[in-house]
Amino acid sequence: MFNLFKYASPASFYPLAGRLAMGFGIASVILLVIGLYMSFFVAPTDYKQGEGYRIMFIHVPAAWMSMLIYVVMACWAAAGMIWHTRLSSMMASSLAPTGAMFTFIALWTGALWGKPMWGAWWVWDARLTSELILLFLYVGFMALESAIDDPRRAARASGLLALVGVINVPIIYYSVQWWNTLHQGSSIKVVDGGVETSMSEIMVWTLLVMTFACWFYTIAVALTRVRSIILERESGASWVKALLQERKS
Amino acid sequence: MSEWLAMGGHGLYIWGSYAVTALFMIVEVILVVRRRRSLMQRLGRMIRMKDSEVSG
């Protein structure tokens, strides 16, 4: 029977993470090239916003990733606290920087899209404000984790912050329906199994390609970062010594 | 080409968005790879030191 817990041990997870990171890294580069080509040369000009809407092809994936990564990070943090598996907490801390980056990109590209369309870089709108809070949560998670020396206590404290902050993600997602926001409502709705959207078919496909590119990018970067975290924490372990001797010879 | 770059007058905003996104993603990859490389060297030196102490 495939024993999943075998990969809970850093020693056996380390080589697997390396192979996965390589695979997802290559896949993300390919998808990014295809997605960028589609964003500029395949997707049609928007009847209302002209070319400006093309910012959507990075703004929306970045925003989706900022929310998805936070939820995944909180799940890993919870797993680490419940089963005391150190590797789970390491996964949470390896995701935080990439999540923070995508949150900043979502805010940045949103501002650059808002200026020509709304006439303002920033408004204290429910969607924008809750996304800004998400950025603070990411930074808070990273700061709290690095402020505490003992990895176990650091994982517990930052894990708690991550779990408390999870409530912010549905607030972001539904903010456009709960409050009267300047930010537009969701244009892609999953309705009884099908995807209903007001966008043209090709725009949705371009968006999906870019989203998967960002998703695979995140997996590749986070897995590479977690390998470094594993080596830093397990530097005294014998398997690390064996690994390094093997690399040297 | 320049007409295409103008993006119907929205060029500044579009290229400002894509450039910053590309910059952040590339810099993040560089930082992650550099962290890994320096860590491997540091651990390699540590082990060589330990070996020399043992055998010395």
Amino acid found at A29: V
A175 class by beta-carbon count within 10 Å (0-12 exposed, 13-18 middle, 19+ buried) = buried
Does the pLDDT of residue B56 top 70, yes or no?
no
Sequence spans of domains, chain A: 14-185+206-243
Contacts of A63 in chain B (CB under 8 A): none
Which B residues, 37 through 56, put their C-beta within 8 Å of a C-beta on chain A? 39-40, 43-44, 46-47
Question: Which pLDDT belongs to residue A1?
Answer: 57
A203: which 2 tokens? 């725009």
CB contact under 8 A, A54 and B40: no
3-state secondary structure A146-195: HHCCCHHHHHHHHHHHHHHHCCHHHHHHHHHHHCCCCCCCCCEEEECCEE
Query: Mean of the pLDDT values across residues B4-24?
Result: 91
Contacts of B33 in chain A (CB under 8 A): 224
Is the Cβ–Cβ distance between A183 and A176 less than 8 Å? yes
If one compares A126 and A3, the residue with the highest pLDDT of the two is A126
Query: Mean of the pLDDT values across residues A86-97?
Result: 95
Q: Work out the pLDDT band at B9, boundaries 50, 70, 90.
A: confident
| Mutate: best of A94, A104, A105, A215, partner B, most B CBs <10 A | A105
A24-79 pLDDT, tens digit per residue, is: 999 999 999 999 999 999 888 888 888 888 999 999 999 999 999 999 999 999 99
If one compares A188 and B32, the residue with the highest pLDDT of the two is B32
Q: Work out the pLDDT band at B2, boundaries 50, 70, 90.
A: confident
Q: What is the DSSP letter of A54?
A: G
Q: Work out the pLDDT band at A94, boundaries 50, 70, 90.
A: very high
Query: Shortest CA distance to A134 belongs to which of A153, A159, A161?
Result: A161
Q: Work out the pLDDT band at A96, boundaries 50, 70, 90.
A: very high
Q: CB of B36 within 8 Å of any CB in chain A?
A: yes
Is the Cβ–Cβ distance between A62 and A100 less than 8 Å? no
Is the Cβ–Cβ distance between A184 and A13 less than 8 Å? no
Question: Which pLDDT belongs to residue B30?
Answer: 97
